[in-house]
Amino acid sequence: MKWIVPSLYVAFSLPLYLLSALTAQVQAQSYHRNKTWQISQAFKPPQRGKPPASAGGSTRGSSCLTGKKLIIPLIPPDKLGLTFAQHPTFFWYAPPSQVKTAKFLLLAEDQNVFYETSFTLPNKPGIFSFKLPDSAPGLTIGKTYHWYLTIVCDAEDSSENPTVDGWVERTQPGSRLSEALTKANLYKLPTIYAEAGIWHEALTSLVQLRRTQPNNFKARLDWRQFFKSVGLSAIASV
């Protein structure tokens, strides 16, 4: 597996067999102090209010994307990803395209622009990511933000530019969860975050594990099970 690691994103392609697994039941459950941590088999979404139903959609396939395929945002089923980070990382699947530029927009709760930027896409299709840079304003605890990713197919006519969106909210861990995170190694982090319903760090830590242990069979099984549990097995068609 090859990894492209520019300054703000990583990209990789996944073969079909890595993302086909038995169906996992997604059940919300609380964090337990005496839990014997193992790599998560499923993401456990927290019980909380949902963002507007319009979030997380994708525009129709654009002619600038090969086969008019869609961008797929890697977000949980309720379209709202929780994070502990001031500057979280966002992930998407992008199909083959000749387009080299994407735009990222983050809106505050009052719909004012919180952050926006453009960046260069990788040369091949696959999953890629964008980390909100440390130079950007940090997310405020308890605030929800609406983000958009746009592939710039036509700088003059935005109707041809495929866009996906979602929501992110920054929260903070309780003392027991903080203690578990402090003691955890790279293998345990994905489970702890997934059990707590912290989407952005769960996915980011899984990516770290896949990058540092590309031949670890257990890590690959857990990777595909994580995506199956949130209905994202469609990216197996890469």
Express each pLDDT in 74-119 by its tens digit. Answer: 999 889 999 999 999 999 988 877 777 899 999 999 999 999 999 9
Residue 228: the pLDDT is 87
Question: 180 and 226 share a domain?
Answer: yes
**Pair 193, 129 in one domain:** no
Closest CA to 233 of 17, 1, 25, 4: 17
- Tell whether 91 is covered by a domain: yes
- pLDDT of 196 over the 50 cut: yes
Q: Is residue 10 part of a domain?
A: no
Prediction pTM value: 0.77
Q: How many domains does one find in the chain?
A: 2
Instruction: Tell me whether residue 48 is in a domain.
Output: no
Q: How many CB atoms lie within 10 A of CB 150?
A: 19
Same domain, 143 and 184: no
| pLDDT over 70 at 134, yes or no | yes
Q: Are residues 133 and 152 in the same domain?
A: yes
- Between CA 151 and CA 163 the distance in angstroms is 6
- Residues 166 and 179 grouped into a single domain: no
Residue ranges making up the domain that contains 212: 174-231
> What per-residue confidence (pLDDT) applies to 52?
57
Give residue 136's pLDDT.
Answer: 96
Using the 3D structure, point to which of 156, 172, 188 is the last residue of a domain: 172
What is the percent of the chain with per-residue pLDDT over 70, rounded to a whole number? 72
- Is there a single domain that holds both residue 58 and residue 163? yes
